Amino acid sequence: MSSNNPPIKKVAISTGGGDAPGLNAVIRAAVLAGKQRGWEMYGIRDGFNGLMMPEQYIEGGVVKLTPERVRGITHLGGTIIGTTNRGNPFNYPVKNPDGTYTEIDRSDELMRSFYMHEIDALISVGGDGSMSIANQLAQKGMRVVGVPKTIDNDLDQTVVTFGFDTAVSFAVECLDRLHSTAASHRRIMVVEVMGRYAGWIALEAGVAGSADVILIPEIPYDLEIVAKKIDERVKSGSNFSIVVVAEGAKPKGGKVTIQGNEIGRAERLGGVGEKVTAELQELTGKEARLVVLGHLLRGGTPTSNDRLIALRFGAAAIRALEQGQHGVMVALDPPTVKYVPLLEATKRMKNVPLDCDTMLTARDLGTSFGD
């Protein structure tokens, strides 16, 4: 939406949720583009914790971002202002005397902090949780522009999110390396990747990395079918198999494997790879090994593609504010970047369409999805 708010003088940037390669590129682009318009740019430390717990930061919870401060950060992984996945101001976890936690609404306190720091607008960079928070802040009167970030590529309304290409590229490199060791030992290599409830990383890395089996959340699997596929490979002379498993994959009639469920944060998925490895070893009689890529997918230098998307998003967020847009998220709509209402962007998760070209390609290549 657009509005006739007072002129912008100060803009704050917040990075929330899990880190992703490209965050620093967003920050640099927003700071330089904001400077071009005469705006002062600031970074809020660790999501919104810099405003809600400023006493924890020696140099203050809100730091001024100058062109000098963001010089040379485009290629760096992580985020120079920090992030957290436990700082939702609408459901903020507070520790009780007995050690338990209670969630309270600190959003009014956060809005007062924006006012005290004379922050006119906010650029919120994050995944679905951060975009939902941004939407709620917009409804409370804050000028907000969201920037989609997630290696999982599960945000609706944007063709792709930055961080995804880097994660897939690294996963493919790992699969390339695992092929030789799997072949040497005639093993089944199970590779568990991130992605939460969407199978984008597993699918694209699996296809590009020549995996024999890909298990994704969108298709409940049957390991009897997977074992049959592996046996068929053995009979045809291929004595090893590569199985890529998304952390959110689940068996037919079963549930997603959860590592933990703490108050104030999204449930942590993981552990399905261990189950798949043990069951396939028993079903096939072949030695099986598990590799969990986990947080390795989040770290490191962003690819040129992710850098470019992140830089475009950061600059587009500034243009949106200049045009009077707020309550919107920037989204990739090749060859342009468009603005979509935050409410629309957070309505649903973007899952892998079972009839998409990459799925059809995988099936034509003989890849098994356990169905």
Per-residue model confidence (pLDDT) at position 173:
96
Q: Are 91 and 261 in contact (CB under 8 A)?
A: no
**Residue 58 DSSP SS3:** coil
Q: Which of 55, 92, 87, 356 is nearest to 204 (CA)?
A: 356
Q: Is residue 104 very low, low, confident or very high in pLDDT (cuts 50, 70, 90)?
A: very high
Q: Say if residue 4's pLDDT is above 80.
A: no
Q: Say if residue 355's pLDDT is above 90.
A: yes
Per-residue model confidence (pLDDT) at position 41:
98
Beta-carbon contacts of residue 50 (< 8 Å; ≥ 6 apart): 43, 44, 57, 60, 61, 62, 63, 81
Where is 10: in which H helix or E strand? Answer: strand 10-15
Q: Say if residue 267's pLDDT is above 80.
A: no
Per-residue model confidence (pLDDT) at position 167:
96
Q: DSSP assignment of 141-193, as one string?
A: T-EEEEEEB-TT--BTTSS--BTHHHHHHHHHHHHHHHHHHHHHHT-EEEEEE
Could you tell me which residues are beta bridge partners of residue 328? 145, 341
Per-residue model confidence (pLDDT) at position 263:
59
Per-residue model confidence (pLDDT) at position 3:
54
Q: Is residue 314 very low, low, confident or very high in pLDDT (cuts 50, 70, 90)?
A: very high
Domain residue ranges of the chain, discontinuous segments joined by +: 10-162+302-334, 166-298+353-364
Q: Say if residue 262's pLDDT is above 80.
A: no
Per-residue model confidence (pLDDT) at position 256:
83
Q: Cα 38–82–337 angle (5° rounding)?
A: 55
The upper half-sphere exposure of residue 135, i.e. CA atoms within 13 Å in the direction of its Cβ, equals 16
pLDDT per residue as tens digits for the range 321-349: 999 999 999 999 999 999 999 999 888 88
Per-residue model confidence (pLDDT) at position 266:
62
Percent of the chain with pLDDT over 70: 97
Per-residue model confidence (pLDDT) at position 265:
57
Specify whether 120 is catalytic.
no
Residue 18 gets which letter from DSSP?
A: S
For CA atoms 128, 134, 140, 145, the dihedral sign is negative
CA distances from 181 to 205, 213, 237, 277, 289 (A): 18, 17, 17, 16, 11
Residue 2 gets which letter from DSSP?
A: B
pLDDT per residue as tens digits for the range 117-134: 999 999 999 998 999 999
For CA atoms 255, 363, 224, 210, the dihedral sign is negative
Distance, in Å, from the CA atom of 354 to the CA atom of 186, rounded to the nearest integer, reads 31
Catalytic residue among 152, 154, 156, 306: 152
Distance, in Å, from the CA atom of 293 to the CA atom of 168, rounded to the nearest integer, reads 11
Q: Say if residue 2's pLDDT is above 70.
A: no
Q: Is CATH 3.40.710.10 the right assignment for the domain spanning 166-298+353-364? A: no
Average of per-residue pLDDT across 198-210: 97
Per-residue model confidence (pLDDT) at position 101:
85
Where is 49: in which H helix or E strand? Answer: helix 49-52
Q: Say if residue 6's pLDDT is above 80.
A: yes
Q: From the CA atom positions of the chain, what is the Rg in Å?
A: 22
Averaged confidence pLDDT in the chain: 93
pLDDT per residue as tens digits for the range 141-177: 999 999 999 999 998 899 999 999 999 999 999 999 9
Class of domain 10-162+302-334: alpha beta
Per-residue model confidence (pLDDT) at position 156:
86
Q: Say if residue 5's pLDDT is above 80.
A: no
- Fold agreement between 10-162+302-334 and 166-298+353-364: yes
Q: Are 230 and 238 in contact (CB under 8 A)?
A: no
pLDDT per residue as tens digits for the range 33-82: 999 999 999 999 999 999 999 999 998 999 999 999 999 999 999 999 99
Distance, in Å, from the CA atom of 125 to the CA atom of 355, rounded to the nearest integer, reads 31
State if pTM tops 0.75: yes
